[in-house]
Structure 1
Amino acid sequence: MLPVIQDFTYHRVPVADGVTLNAAVGGSGPAIILLHGFPQTHLMWRHVAADLATDHTVICPDLRGYGDSDKPAETGPDTYSKRTMAADLVALARALGHERFALAGHDRGALVAFRAGLDHPDTITHLACLDVLPTLDMWDVMRGASAAVGFHLYLMAQPPGLPEQMISAAPDAFFGHFLDQWVADPAALPAEIREIYLAASRAAVPSIVADYRASAGIDVEHDSADRARGSRLRMPVTVIQQDWGAALGYDAAALWQAWTDDLRHHTTTAGHFMAEEAPAEIVQRLRELLAL
């Protein structure tokens, strides 16, 4: 399998501050942007994108700092804030001719999607977030022994230097751990795809760490300010998650409901990499959202 989404056209699109994003584009019709998570690239959407492209313009970028997109040096907290990454998407869509678009994100991409929905409510028509909680809520529920499952969040939250050095010493072991532990159906990540993800992550350690560091700092500040203002997502929202709430003792749907009045919350039996493990299920949920 080639490291591309078949029948999609690839673009390199300048977005902001000299940053260029790699984006695969296919289909025609209303636009939807699909955002990948950690430790992956846009290729995680290869099955879902092909289906949606039958009646939508589907845009699958690598986030800044990931895959074949630019990886600017971390010069401050804003370099990899979700606000900055959300602005990248608006610039990307406009460069491709779309003033408004639907947005679906998985994992890290879902956090960017959430921020885009709050910051650009007149631009995002529909919002889907896969297997995350909003950043502020995530830190609130991560406590006690159960927080051990998120050890990487704490590691990469540390000041520059130590986390990059530790991860760079054994990148395949580090990133491979998550690919192996978070998948319920290993066949969904064939060897060639797994190697693409490992190679991409291996080449992006500083920017991946910077992305996570922002989530322990400036992203919390932005979410806290929105919560204090009573900001809410104004578009239809779909959330698809593993049942982490039951496992860790919180009500995931209630946490999401605090951010929106128009929520569809679903749990799945698929593993974390649900767009690859259960693409038909994810397509169904996205199409239900897009029909609203």
Structure 2
Amino acid sequence: MTASPAPTPATPAVPSAPVPPAAIPGFAYHRVPVADGVRLNAAVASAGSPVVLLHGFPQTHLMWRHVAADLAADHTVICPDLRGYGASDKPAEAGPDTYAKRTMAADVVALAKALGHDRFALAGHDRGALVAFRAGLDHPAAVTHLACLDVLPTLDMWEVMHGASAAVGFHLYLMAQPPGLPERMIAASSDDFFGHFLDIWTGDPGAIPADVRAAYLDACRAAVPSIVADYRASAGVDVDHDRADREAGRWLRMPVTVLQQDWGAALGFDAAALWRSWAPDLRHVPVSYGHFMAEEAPAEVAAALRELLTR
């Protein structure tokens, strides 16, 4: 790994787990029970107020390795693998709620509480940003500050995608299909499928070195059913939850920062306006680097999170 070492943590009464081969240097590892039969793998370094960092697709907590090392100088940093990803548990899809973002957000709140934090700042990238968004709506007393990197809220995403421009999101439609076919298709060539996104979504291929790329592909290869279930939920129950919140007038009450590529110019929508309808206290920052911004521009991402924490 390429990150600088972070402080050795002093974590509450959650037993440590062995440090895996692909790890954030200087962080301790824990397997934390968060729901019946579900434990999350989490890297933790303790040095101050808590910040939880949620990874995206097709990645694991390792995507935060540079930013986490930066923030760990003066914050308690918690980097879990989401349920269904990485070294966290991968329950079978028993229904739409198994991988609903509401369920995954509850995992994150339970994780932080188990590590001794009733309130925490939360940042997410891609899929993790959708979990973070849901946590901010469902658990406003727990989430003090919220950052979302390179997504739109689920309901808005489906509403703005249409016509030929929606081809960029072909994977969303593939994994929205009923169980069976998408899992078989992806498992038949999983490295090609997941590697495709690592290739086309990065502006700087060197930002994801070979050992990290191999760790991502290994993790995804072992998690095809749960990753598909996560995406399937975003075409169903997650939309229902967002729509119910919009109709009820619910919004994000904490300070929010959004870092986002300028999708709107290409796809014909105003991303900042869409986010502002959910987050009145919003700092929306268009960025020029690629989708994997925590790896391509970690200093800029860390600086944006630090600015958020001052608000």
TM-score normalised according to structure 2 size: 0.93
Gaps of 5+ in 2: 2-20
Write the distance in 1 (CA, Å) between the matches of 2:283 and 2:36.
36
2:197 to 178, 196, 201: 178
1:68-107 alignment, distance < 5 Å: 68-107=87-126
Write the distance in 2 (CA, Å) between the matches of 1:207 and 1:139.
21
Give 1:137's aligned residue.
156
What do the CA deviations read for 1:24-49 (whole angstroms, capped 9, x no partner)?
00131110100000000000000000
Give 2:279's aligned residue.
260
Q: 1:291, CA displacement in angstroms? A: 1.0
Write the distance in 2 (CA, Å) between the matches of 1:9 and 1:158.
38
Q: Which runs of 4+ in 1 moved over 2 A?
A: none
- Corresponding position: 1:246 with 2:265: yes
Write the distance in 2 (CA, Å) between the matches of 1:255 and 1:90.
26
1:125 to 119, 136, 144: 144
Q: 1:240, CA displacement in angstroms? A: 0.2
Write the distance in 2 (CA, Å) between the matches of 1:94 and 1:122.
13
How high is the sequence identity, in percent, across the aligned residues?
77
Write the distance in 1 (CA, Å) between the matches of 2:109 and 2:71.
20
Gaps of 5+ in 1: none
Give 2:207's aligned residue.
188
Write the distance in 2 (CA, Å) between the matches of 1:27 and 1:5.
14
TM-score normalised according to structure 1 size: 0.99
Q: 1:16, CA displacement in angstroms? A: 0.4
2:128 to 74, 98, 109: 109
Q: What is the one-letter code of the residue matched to 1:291?
A: T
Q: 1:66 is paired with a residue of what secondary structure?
A: coil
What do the CA deviations read for 1:32-84 (whole angstroms, capped 9, x no partner)?
10000000000000000000001100000000000000000000000000000
Write the distance in 2 (CA, Å) between the matches of 1:245 and 1:279.
23
Write the distance in 1 (CA, Å) between the matches of 2:60 and 2:120.
21
Q: 1:23, CA displacement in angstroms? A: 0.1
Q: How many residues align?
A: 292
Q: 2:136 is paired with a residue of what secondary structure?
A: helix
Give 1:277's aligned residue.
296
Write the distance in 2 (CA, Å) between the matches of 1:135 and 1:207.
18
What do the CA deviations read for 1:207-257 (whole angstroms, capped 9, x no partner)?
000000000000000000000000000000000000111111100000000
